[in-house]
Each structure stands twice: as structure tokens, then as C-alpha cells.
């Protein structure tokens, strides 16, 4: 599943093959090898033996593949991803990304951990084994992400400590509670100490942090951040020694703004990450290969972009002998048609051809859906549960921002009808509610959001970062309830309702986050959901993923959880009508 133990390295054999004294298992003839160390392109043959690269030069092999002058590069590594956001099981995820040249991902099972705790982490660990790519894990650091929401389980340092000895565990995942670091919260520091004691990496998550607070955060040996949205923010973190995870997900898109950071002096301190991409996005647009293409379109040197996607990420996480086509390195290789189009033609994993011309040659086999405990439990809902008595002619409104997971904190005029605050379709203001689903508590607070675009109906999902309660965006309470009931019927998923009828839905029965169906079925379901959201009038490219982040209380500025409306910058719950003078 992860790092090959060093004792399995066939030292004597590799030396003989490298010196051309014996035949290699496989030789890629007539290759143009991209050297990510020097930035050069070397013409020659690539000798592969026992899953490792013996050398680049003139070689003879038992098996010969003529790549006819195509470019040979290391396979790509996603430096930070939540597999659950693809909405498919790990092996189905591999089916989506391996044909795009991905050989490894550094995954944080944070989403399923917030629903099922150790049960969820164990499932992700076991189900990822034996496939055509490496799944490395970072142990979730914030379960829950804050005390401003209700999740399914809490985990402390004692829960994660046993996992730290596993070779596939690379460290502690994104430390989102940055105030807890800066102000020395014992629970947060205990987890950091566990990672440091095991000499593991610690990933960061610190949007907006600067100055002495950033120094304090970095001094905890938190060595990366994927929340940079501006070049200045990225340079500030680079300046204190942090590795920059340049993100391009389905909703949060930062590559364009951060691409100028990729220069000869800084490329080794940058990685490409997707964080959150759904299956439809992966299948239609690609994975890390799409980020390399996009970076090149913004003027980044192609070899530097490939370096960021390979060697830079491998070195950051201590993945020795990965991320390069060089003697002694693992034979995780991609054959490209050009250095501009980055069209993936062949993918090799440990020297074995696992994908060709966009399709896997490796059979992932049938994987049974896991037997996990029920995770969608809600109180019976009534229309009056979502009525809001107007207490002021002004109210706090969440401002959705296209292609970002941050939001604006808006003050809008209250639309009052019969003493109730109601949606105002003309101003693109609709209701939003988070329904707690883990413990079947009473119906939850209601707020308002601007920028979703729907003019009728409701959209509801059991994916709501990070606690994954049920998020509902609606123009009316009746459709909201019908959609929520559909989520319970499916034991998790996404539903769109119009005029009391479910017009599209996608079951996600694995922790309310993932499907037990093949990727093609999930992709088709997402297409139907997108068509249904368009029918309601949504103006967002990724409406359901955008909805999912409206409840994340560690990303500015205004969010909503099952406990209420959250002013993230003040890190506290506020009343809907608590507006500044």
C-alpha cells in the first residue's frame, strides 16, 4: 500500500542491471526523460528491474516498450486530498485518477473521521490496499474541527498515537485549530507532540494568519499550508519555512493566483493538491495532470511544473526514492505525448503498466461496501421548525463567493412577511439550515445565504464540512423538508426537490459521504444533480460542493453550523439579527 520496505530492494541485481551486465525486466526504449533534478531532458532508454529504475542510457530488457520519443516523467503525487470528497470508495477513486498519471496521494480521512472516528479511518486504510497507486495517510488532527459544531465523534491524541508507527502514515493532517496552536491549547499541542515524537510531518491550515501569530504557528513545526489564496499570503508562509500546497479543487481554485510562486528557487517548496474534487470533475477534467497543464498555460516552465507535482512533494513528505526517473528510484512512471498538452499515454506502478490511453490495465476487482454503523439520524421535521421570527429590519447574511470556500459577511435588509423573515428571490437570498444528523437532536438554526442563485425548490446534502450534518438551501420550507426526508431514506446523499417532488438524487450510504457504486454511476448521478440545480436557477459551477463549505467554521468569514450562525473572525456564535450599529 505504501513505502516498500528497504529489505526488499534487490541491491545486487539493480547494480548489475544499471551497469548493463544483465538484462532489465523492462526497458522503455527511445525515451525523452525529464530530469527533475537538473531541469534537463535526456534521450535514452529507461531500465526497470524488480519495480525499480536501474538507470537511463542504453539497455536491453526481457520486455521492450518503444515509446518513440515520448516524454518519460515521474508519476504525479497529490500532496493533500480528502478521498471522500470524490464521493466514491478508494479503489473507485484510483480508477478515476491513475489513468491521469497519478501514482500516489497523501490523503486525510478527515471527513469520514468526523462521522465515524477510528472506524472510518480503519475503513479508509484497509480499503485502499492492493491497488494501482499508493494511498498514504495523514492522521486527522481536528475531530471535531471546532467546538462550534456537533459531529459524530471526538478524537484525542490517544486515538491517533497507535497509527503513528504505521509506515503508510506520514504525519498529522491539517491543523485547522490555529488559535489552539497560537494560544497553546493542551489538546491541540498533545497531538502535535505525538507527531514530533514519531518524526512525522505536520500539515497546516491557517487562512489569514500573519505576523507574530504566523511565527507562533510555524514554530510548532507545522510545515505546510494549503489555504493560501493570495501570492502575498503564500510568500509569507514560504518566508517562515512552510511548504506551499497550491490548491485547485472543484470549488476552491487558487492555482491562477499562486502560479507566479513557481520559480527555479522556490519550486522545491511547492506542491500541487486538489483537496476536494468530485468524481465528475476528476473524470471530465483530470487530476494533477490538469494542474500541470493549467500552470503551464499561466507561464510556468513545464519541467518546473512537473517537479512540483513529483519530486517536491515526495521530498516534503520524506518519500525516499520517489518522485524522479533516476537510478534506485521506484519505477512509478508516466509517458506523456508532449510537455505542453501533458497527455498521459502510459502509467507504470512499480514497473508494471497499470493504465494506457486513459484506461486502467489493472483490475481493481470487486470491493464490497463496508458494514459501517448508521450515520444519518434526524428528528422528525415540521415546517414551523424552519420559520424565522423577524427581530430586526437588518440581518447577517452569508455571501457565497464563486470558486472560493471563504465567504463574505453581509448585512442585508430583512424581507419580512407576516412577521417572519423569508427568502428574497429577487435579491438572490434564500434560506440555509444545518440539520444535526449524528444524534437526532432537535431541528437546527436557520440563516440566509446570498449567491446560490436558485429561484425555486431546495437542494439538500449530507456532505457539510467538517462535521457533515445535513445542509439545506431552499426557497421554501416544504421542499426543504421533502429533500431532507429523501436524505434519510438514502442514509446519506444529495437531493434536489421542486414543487414537492424529488427531481434528482444520489445515494451516499457510506457515512453519508461516499457511494458504493462504480465511478461511472456516480458521475452520471452528479450530472443529473447539476442539471436539476440548473433547473432551480443555480448560477454556481459546483453548487453542492459550494453548499458543503457554507458550514465550515474554520474558514472566514460567516458560516452556519447546527449550533448557529458563526462569525469565524471572532470565532463565536452570533444571532441572525445581531448586526453592527
Other C-beta atoms lying within 10 Å of the C-beta of residue 393: 12
Q: Which three cell numbers mark 554?
A: 474554520
| 16/327 Cα distance (integer angstroms) | 12
What pLDDT, on a 0 to 100 scale, did the predictor assign at position 7? Answer: 47
What pLDDT, on a 0 to 100 scale, did the predictor assign at position 273? Answer: 98
Residue 407 backbone dihedrals phi, psi, to 5 degrees? -130, 165
- β-bridge pairing 270-273 and 407-413: unpaired
| 327/333 Cα distance (integer angstroms) | 13
What pLDDT, on a 0 to 100 scale, did the predictor assign at position 296? Answer: 98
- pTM, two decimals, is 0.93
Residue 213 backbone dihedrals phi, psi, to 5 degrees? -65, -40
- The label of the residue with cell 538507470 reads 55
Query: What is residue 3's DSSP assignment?
Result: P
Residue 67 has pLDDT above 70, yes or no: yes
Q: How confident is the model over 142-167, as pLDDT tens digits?
A: 898 888 999 999 999 999 999 999 99
What pLDDT, on a 0 to 100 scale, did the predictor assign at position 128? Answer: 82
What's the angle, vertex CA 39, arms to CA 38 and CA 43, rounded to 5? 95
Sheet with 169-175, side-by-side order of all strands? 76-81, 102-107, 134-139, 169-175, 201-204
SS3 of 514-540: the string is ECCCCHHHHHHHHHHHHHHHHHHCCCC
Residue 317 has pLDDT above 60, yes or no: yes
What stretches of 129-200 show up as alpha helix (H) in DSSP? 157-160, 178-182, 186-197
What pLDDT, on a 0 to 100 scale, did the predictor assign at position 6? Answer: 44
What stretches of 117-183 show up as alpha helix (H) in DSSP? 118-127, 157-160, 178-182
Listed by start position, the domains of the chain span 75-321, 383-574
pLDDT band, residue 5 (cuts 50/70/90): very low
pLDDT band, residue 282 (cuts 50/70/90): very high
Length in residues, the chain: 581
Rounded to an integer, the average pLDDT of 186-205 is: 97
Rounded to an integer, the average pLDDT of 415-431 is: 97
| 12/23 Cα distance (integer angstroms) | 13
What pLDDT, on a 0 to 100 scale, did the predictor assign at position 1? Answer: 37
Beta strands in 82-148 (DSSP E): 102-107, 134-139
Query: What is residue 381's DSSP assignment?
Result: P
Residue 364 has pLDDT above 80, yes or no: no
Burial tier of 178 (Cβ tally within 10 Å: 0-12, 13-18, 19+)? buried
Task: Give the residues across from 431 on adjacent strands.
Answer: 448, 474
Q: Which residues contact 550 (CB under 8 A, 6 or more apart)?
A: 398, 400, 407, 432, 449, 464, 471, 473, 559, 560
CB 358 within 8 A of CB 344: yes
- The label of the residue with cell 492492493 reads 130
What pLDDT, on a 0 to 100 scale, did the predictor assign at position 2? Answer: 42
Rounded to an integer, the average pLDDT of 492-514 is: 97
Window from 254-258, 290-294, 440-444, 476-480 with minimum mean pLDDT: 440-444
Residue 8 has pLDDT above 60, yes or no: yes
pLDDT band, residue 367 (cuts 50/70/90): low
| 280/87 Cα distance (integer angstroms) | 10
Residue 381 has pLDDT above 90, yes or no: no
List C-alpha distances in Å: 325 to 37, 45, 55, 144. 10, 11, 8, 41
- Residues 117, 118, 119, 121, Cα dihedral to 10°: 100
| 211/223 Cα distance (integer angstroms) | 16
What pLDDT, on a 0 to 100 scale, did the predictor assign at position 366? Answer: 64
Class in CATH terms, 75-321 = alpha beta
Name the residue among 420, 310, 393 with its Cα closest to residue 75: 310
Residue 95 has pLDDT above 90, yes or no: yes
| 404/250 Cα distance (integer angstroms) | 9
What pLDDT, on a 0 to 100 scale, did the predictor assign at position 369? Answer: 66
CB 32 within 8 A of CB 71: yes
CB 437 within 8 A of CB 426: no
| 192/488 Cα distance (integer angstroms) | 37
Name the residue among 198, 148, 72, 55 with its Cα closest to residue 467: 148
Residue 490 has pLDDT above 60, yes or no: yes
Amino acid at each position: 500500500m505504501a513505502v516498500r520496505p528497504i529489505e526488499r530492494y534487490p541491491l545486487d541485481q539493480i547494480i548489475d542491471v544499471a551497469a548493463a551486465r544483465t538484462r532489465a525486466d523492462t526497458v522503455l526504449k527511445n525515451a525523452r526523460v525529464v530530469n527533475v533534478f537538473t531541469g534537463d531532458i535526456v534521450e535514452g532508454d529507461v531500465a526497470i528491474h524488480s519495480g525499480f529504475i536501474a538507470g537511463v542510457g542504453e539497455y536491453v530488457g526481457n520486455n521492450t516498450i518503444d515509446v518513440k520519443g515520448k516524454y518519460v516523467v515521474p508519476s504525479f503525487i497529490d500532496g493533500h486530498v480528502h478521498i471522500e470528497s470524490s464521493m466514491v470508495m478508494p479503489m473507485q477513486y484510483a480508477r478515476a485518477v491513475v489513468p491521469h498519471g497519478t501514482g500516489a496521494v497523501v490523503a486525510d480521512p478527515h471527513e469520514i473521521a468526523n462521522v465515524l472516528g477510528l472506524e472510518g479511518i480503519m475503513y479508509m486504510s484497509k480499503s485502499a490496499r492492493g491497488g494501482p497507486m499508493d494511498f498514504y495517510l495523514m492522521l486527522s488532527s481536528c475531530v471535531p474541527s471546532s467546538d462550534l459544531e456537533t459531529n459524530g465523534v471526538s478524537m484525542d491524541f490517544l486515538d491517533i498515537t497507535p497509527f503513528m508507527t504505521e509506515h503508510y502514515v506520514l504525519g498529522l493532517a491539517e491543523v485547522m485549530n490555529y488559535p489552539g496552536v497560537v494560544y497553546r491549547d493542551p489538546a491541540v499541542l498533545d497531538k502535535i507532540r505525538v507527531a514530533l515524537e514519531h518524526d512525522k510531518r505536520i500539515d497546516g491550515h491557517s487562512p489569514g494568519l500573519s505576523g507574530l501569530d504566523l511565527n507562533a504557528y510555524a514554530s510548532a513545526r507545522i510545515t505546510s499550508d494549503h489555504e493560501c489564496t493570495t501570492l502575498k499570503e503564500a510568500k509569507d508562509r514560504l518566508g517562515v519555512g512552510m511548504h506551499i500546497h497550491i490548491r485547485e479543487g472543484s470549488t476552491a481554485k487558487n492555482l491562477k493566483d499562486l502560479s507566479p510562486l513557481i520559480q527555479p528557487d522556490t519550486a522545491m517548496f511547492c506542491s500541487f493538491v486538489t483537496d476536494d474534487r468530485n468524481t465528475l470533475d476528476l473524470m471530465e477534467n483530470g487530476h494533477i495532470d490538469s494542474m500541470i497543464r493549467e500552470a503551464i498555460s499561466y507561464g510556468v516552465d513545464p519541467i518546473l511544473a512537473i517537479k512540483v507535482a513529483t519530486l517536491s512533494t515526495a521530498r516534503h513528505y520524506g518519500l525516499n526514492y520517489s518522485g524522479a526517473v533516476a537510478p534506485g528510484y521506484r519505477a512509478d512512471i508516466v509517458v506523456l505525448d508532449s510537455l505542453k498538452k501533458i497527455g498521459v499515454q502510459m502509467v507504470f506502478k512499480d514497473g508494471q503498466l497499470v493504465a494506457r490511453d486513459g484506461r486502467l490495465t489493472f483490475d481493481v476487482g470487486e470491493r464490497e461496501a463496508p458494514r459501517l454503523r448508521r450515520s444519518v439520524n434526524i428528528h422528525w421535521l415540521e415546517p414551523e421548525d424552519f420559520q424565522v421570527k423577524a427581530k430586526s429590519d437588518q440581518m447577517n447574511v452569508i455571501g457565497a463567493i464563486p470558486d472560493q470556500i471563504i465567504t463574505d459577511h453581509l448585512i442585508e435588509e430583512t424581507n419580512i412577511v407576516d412577521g417572519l423573515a423569508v427568502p428574497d428571490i429577487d435579491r438572490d437570498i434564500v434560506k440555509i439550515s444545518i440539520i444535526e444528523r449524528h444524534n437526532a437532536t432537535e431541528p437546527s438554526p436557520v440563516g440566509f445565504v446570498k449567491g446560490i442563485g436558485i429561484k425555486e425548490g431546495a437542494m439538500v446534502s449530507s456532505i457539510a464540512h467538517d462535521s457533515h450534518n445535513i445542509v439545506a438551501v431552499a426557497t421554501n420550507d416544504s421542499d426543504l423538508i421533502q429533500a431532507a426526508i429523501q436524505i434519510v431514506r438514502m442514509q446519506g446523499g444529495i437531493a434536489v426537490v421542486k414543487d414537492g417532488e424529488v427531481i434528482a438524487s444520489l445515494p451516499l450510504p457510506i457515512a453519508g459521504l461516499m457511494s458504493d457504486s462504480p465511478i461511472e454511476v456516480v458521475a452520471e448521478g452528479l450530472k443529473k444533480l447539476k442539471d436539476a440545480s440548473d433547473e432551480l436557477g443555480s448560477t454556481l459551477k459546483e453548487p453542492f460542493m459550494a453548499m458543503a463549505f457554507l458550514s465550515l467554521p474554520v474558514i472566514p468569514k460567516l458560516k452556519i453550523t447546527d449550533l448557529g450562525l458563526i462569525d469565524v473572525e471572532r470565532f463565536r456564535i452570533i444571532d441572525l439579527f445581531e448586526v453592527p450599529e
